[in-house]
Amino acid sequence: MINNQKVIRAVENICSSGCVSVNAIILTLEAGKKIEGIEDFTDAEINELKNELKSIMAVYDARYETSD
Q: What is the 3-class SS of 1-65, one letter each residue?
A: CCCCHHHHHHHHHHHCCCHHHHHHHHHHHHCCCCCCCCCCCCHHHHHHHHHHHHHHHHHHHHHHH
Domain-embedded: residue 14:
no
Average pLDDT over residues 56-63: 82
Domain-embedded: residue 64:
yes
Q: How many domains does the chain have?
A: 1
Which range of residues forms the domain containing residue 54? 1-9+19-31+41-68
pTM, rounded to two decimals: 0.85
Domain-embedded: residue 55:
yes
Per-residue pLDDT tens digits for 1-56:
678 999 999 999 999 999 999 999 999 999 999 999 999 999 999 999 999 999 99
pLDDT band at 60 (very low <50, low <70, confident <90, very high): confident
* pLDDT number for residue 2: 76
